[in-house]
Each structure stands twice: as C-alpha cells, then as structure tokens.
Amino acid sequence: MKITIVGAGAIGGYFAARLAHSGQDVSVLARGRTLDAIRAHGMRLDSKGKHFAERLEASEKAADLGPQDVVIITVKAPAMPTAAQSIAPLLGAQTTVIPAVNGLPWWYFLEAGGRLGGHRLRSVDPAGATEAAINAARVVGCVVFPACSSIEPGYVKHASGNRVVFGEPRGGTSERVTAIADSFRAAGFGAESSNNIRREIWLKLLGNLCFNPVSALMGCTTDCMIDDPRLHSLFVGAMSEALALGAALDIPVDIKPVDRIAITRKLGAVKTSMLQDVEAGRPLEVEGIVGAAVEAAEAIGQPVPLLSAIYALVRRRADVLGLLPA
C-alpha cells in the first residue's frame, strides 16, 4: 500500500520511519528545514536504543507524490484546514485519509447519530474548510498513544508506547481498517481495530483535556502535577465532567477518573505535547483539545464549569504568549 505522511513532526516522523523500515512504500509531505533534513539524512528515529535513518521520497508539493492508497495527516489541529486543502493531488478514487490528531477531530460528530449528529465543530473547523476538502467517506479514525518528541527537524525520539487504534467513524468493522492495522502491526506497532473509534477518542481525550492545558499553565510534567493533591483533585473533577458529557452524548466510557489518572502516573515524567509547544514557541492546540469539548457541552446545555475554567485560562495563556492561532 502506498502511504503518504503529511507533516513529519514527532508522530509523523515516527510513523514514517517505522513504516518505511518495515518495507512499506512511504513518502512524506514536508517543507522547510524538515524537508531539507529528510532529503539530506533520511527520516531519523531513535527508539528503544535503536537508530533508524530511512531514505524515503519527500516533497513540499503533493503533486510530486501523486495519488496514494492511504494519507495520514499528523499536523497539529491549527494547521489541519490548510493541510486538508493541500492534499488534493494525493487523493485517488479509493484513497483513505487518516487524521492522527490530538483532541476531537472535525469529523467527530458529522457521521454520528445522537444529540449532536451532523454537528460541525466550529472550534476546530470554523469555516468548514477541512470538511469541504476531505469527504467524510474517506476518513478512518485514529487514536495515537506513543510519546514522541522532535530532537531537531527530521529527527524524532520515541520515548514510550506503540499502541495505535483505527476505526470507522460510523462504527463497525471494515476491510480497509483491518488492512491498515495489519500494515502497522507489520511495522512493529501495537495496532488495533476498534468497532467504536469515537469511544476510543473520548477515552484518550479524558487525559488530554486535563494534562495538556494544565501543563501549559504550570510548566511541569505529568508526574509532578498528578502528585500535587490539589491538581489531582482538579483532574478528578474535570474528568468527571468529561465522562458525564460523554454519557450525555451517547459516548459512554467505563473508567473511574482516579484509575485514568493512575495510568498516566505510571508513565513517569511525561512532557505533554502542549507543554512541548509552549517551550518551542509553536501554536497551541487549545481548541482541538479543550475548546471542542466545551463547544459540545454548550451545544447540549451540559454544565462543565471546571473544563470551561481550564479552557478560559489556557486560551488566555496562549494569547499572552502569542501562541493562540487566529
């Protein structure tokens, strides 16, 4: 299967290097210093004491790469509308698009039933640009659990985790999801197929809603936040709101907040993606990670006071730092 990775940052670079190392036909859509580095040195990856430097086709123009079987978009949420509009030359009649993003993706309610069925998340796709560029029928949902960071352009360090979950937005199973998961397993990923990918996304969101924005406010890793009794109580309360919101949206997740927090604590000193972005001076994924959940709550009249407060604080923090996307 021909696969193009759009955005060769931490997760995109990790995917590209591992898939290419396993023999998959992988190319990368990148630009600037990242593109120059990949062309000069290959896509470099440090993972579990091993170093990979995979030579693969890379370009800043989608037309140079041509139609693909699978396009995996790994850009941050603020860049998604622009990325979506750039990939048209990669899309053939049967091309599958996999948005591997944090938070709630633009398609989350478009293909769903229930109280918000068909709702466009304006916090992540305000003008509908992504929705217009990528037909929902092309989309396969994805949840990414590995922790990675960019050492420098075109060079990624994989810290922990290799689980990746794929699924159809409407639920159920399909041949294309099975084939994609098989390809990732062949590359050494702990890849799974889910018949309820929206639930898997919400389950991961429980942690992202808390640890990402609070780490951006506090400037510290997950272990020191969780070990603070006051912040621990905040996380329990915020996750309880998110669980209640999910239940109201027919996305039940059967886990207790203290158990979900304990899972992250076992990982040690994790520097969240939002904290990494603060330190690197990159735009923060405020809307995708927090704003979209608050938008959904407001749309159905569900009170989420703690999540709303966290959203207000991190949004203002991003604005003060000049890291709030327009």
CB atoms within 10 A of CB 295: 18
Q: Which residues have CB under 8 Å from 325's CB, separation 6+?
A: 78, 283, 284, 286, 287
Q: How far is residue 294 from each of residues 88, 289, 306, measured CA to CA in Å?
A: 31, 10, 10
Q: Encoding tokens for residue 156?
A: 């990624």
Distance CA 93, CA 68 (A): 10
pTM: 0.94
**What pLDDT, on the 0 to 100 scale, is given for residue 155?**
96
Q: How far is residue 76 from each of residues 84, 184, 306, measured CA to CA in Å?
A: 12, 21, 25
**For residue 38, which amino acid is it?**
I
Distance CA 104, CA 53 (A): 32
For the CA atoms of the chain, what is the radius of gyration?
Answer: 19
According to CATH, the superfamily of the domain at 2-195 is NAD(P)-binding Rossmann-like Domain (3.40.50.720)
pLDDT in 10s for each residue of the chain, 326 residues? 999 999 999 999 999 999 999 999 999 999 999 999 999 999 999 998 899 899 999 999 999 999 999 999 999 888 999 999 999 999 999 999 999 999 999 999 998 888 999 999 999 999 999 999 999 999 999 999 998 888 899 999 998 889 999 999 999 989 999 999 999 999 999 999 999 999 999 999 999 999 999 999 999 999 999 999 999 999 999 999 999 999 999 999 999 999 999 999 998 998 899 999 999 999 999 999 999 999 999 999 999 999 999 999 999 999 999 999 87
Q: How far is residue 68 from each of residues 64, 93, 142, measured CA to CA in Å?
A: 11, 10, 18
- The domains of the chain are located at 2-195, 199-320
* Domain 2-195 shares a fold with domain 199-320: no
Of the candidates 55, 90, 48, 57, the one whose C-alpha atom is nearest the C-alpha of residue 73 is 90
**What pLDDT, on the 0 to 100 scale, is given for residue 159?**
87
Strand, coil or helix: 82: helix
Q: How many helices (H) and strands (E) does the chain have?
A: 14, 12
Query: Could you confirm whether 204 is annotated as catalytic?
Result: yes
Instruction: Name the active-site residue from 204, 256, 266, 271.
Output: 204
The CATH-assigned architecture of domain 199-320 is Orthogonal Bundle (1.10)
Instruction: Please answer whether residues 62 and 31 qualify as being in contact, where contact means their C-beta atoms are separated by less than 8 angstroms.
Output: no
Element (DSSP H or E) covering residue 141: strand 141-144
Q: How far is residue 277 from each of residues 96, 123, 216, 259, 265, measured CA to CA in Å?
A: 29, 19, 9, 27, 21
**What pLDDT, on the 0 to 100 scale, is given for residue 96?**
98
Q: Encoding tokens for residue 83?
A: 């990325």
